[in-house]
Amino acid sequence: MIQIPCNSCGKENFKTLFQKKSSKDEIFQIVKCKSCGLVQVNPQPSTEEVAKYYSDEYFTKRTDRGYDNYYSDKIRFEIERVFRLNLEDLGFFQWEKSLTGSKRTIDIGCAAGYFVNYMKSQGWESEGIEIAEGPVRFAKEALQLNITKADFLNWDIERKEKFALITLWASIEHLHKPKETLEKIYQHLQPGGRMILSTCRYGVLAWITGINWRYMNVPEHLYYYSLEGLIRECKKIGFKRISSITYGSGMTARKNSSFLYRISKKFMDWFVKWTNQGDMMAIQFEK
């Protein structure tokens, strides 16, 4: 691992927040940039060092960091439910109705391609990019999708196509070079095109729970943006914010939970969304 400049502002002036042990008992340092406020893992592990955390077990064995069989219909339906809610809350469907001509979209970090599959079913020319071998294989074989196994920053450099929509669903926090990824997305969007991204949000709930925050998963998550910080980062590149939402109280769904817990979760999820203090966020930008 090596210490690197802040990916957002390029400065090397950090405040250490805490250290956390990974699922493989490796210790990682979480710091906050004193210049721009971006919270990040630094020193940062290389792509090769992080790769071992993304074996097929990450997608098939339930942990606080992975999924309970990501390839099951149950998980797929839940993921589709969440991104449809996000799209509705962001006002995406109204914009979609205004589009004329061909509609091309690409989902970066698409995993098993559930969003690619959804957009295809809605009449879009839809494709995805993913680096993990297991999900790519599933997307191609089980869902018959147009998925490329590649790093987006090295993907088809000579391609000149423009997309009406580019998405990053819960992906940017995993990237080694998020700023560079956003810049390349801007280049591949057609004028008036949209980018939609979602990620965990470093805000009040993250500050209160600290090292025990549910999304403080190292080293899978390398960057933790605030809502304001991510909007500012995208505006510097040239994006215009169209809409944004936050959601999620940190009260996760539990099997056989009590009636009181279910009612409390429902209220808290509503409350943090209403006050814009959720620890997840989704933002829609326009080029």
User: Tell me: the pLDDT tens digits for 4-24?
Assistant: 999 999 999 999 999 999 989
What does CATH list as the number for 14-286? 3.40.50.150
In this prediction, what percent of the chain has a pLDDT beyond 70? Answer: 94
Residue 158 burial (C-beta neighbours within 10 Å; 0-12, 13-18, 19+): exposed
Q: What is the pTM of this model?
A: 0.92
Q: Pick from 45, 280, 30, 22: which is nearest to 170 by CA? A: 280
Quick one: pLDDT at residue 71?
83
Cα–Cα separations (whole angstroms), residue 111 to 67, 114, 131, 143, 280: 12, 8, 8, 12, 19
User: Rounded distance, CA 57 to CA 220, Å?
Assistant: 14
Name the token pair of 84: 């449809």
Torsion 262-266-224-33 (CA) sign: negative
pLDDT reading at 145 higher than 50: yes
Nearest to 242 by CA among 94, 42, 90, 67: 90
Instruction: Check residue 58 and give its pLDDT.
Output: 62
* pLDDT level of residue 120 (50, 70, 90 thresholds): very high
Given a cut of 70, is residue 49 above it in pLDDT? yes
Mean pLDDT of 258-281: 95
DSSP H stretches of helix in the chain: 47-51, 57-60, 73-90, 92-97, 114-121, 133-141, 178-188, 204-209, 227-237, 259-274
User: What are the tens digits of pLDDT across the range 66-78?
Assistant: 456 778 888 888 8
* pLDDT average, residue stretch 126-133: 93
Q: How many CB atoms lie within 10 A of CB 125?
A: 15
Give yes or no for residue 54 having a pLDDT over 90.
Answer: no
Among 82, 84, 86, smallest CA distance to 253 is for: 82
Exposed, middle or buried, 209 (CB in 10 Å: 0-12/13-18/19+)? middle
* Mean pLDDT in residue range 201-207: 96
pLDDT value for 78? 87
Residue ranges of domains in the chain: 14-286
CA distance 145 to 151: 18
Q: What is residue 52's predicted lDDT score, i.e. its pLDDT?
A: 84
CA distance 153 to 155: 6
Q: Measure Cα distances from 280 to 86, 94, 199, 222, 257 in Å.
A: 11, 23, 6, 16, 23
Average confidence (pLDDT) over 140-146: 94
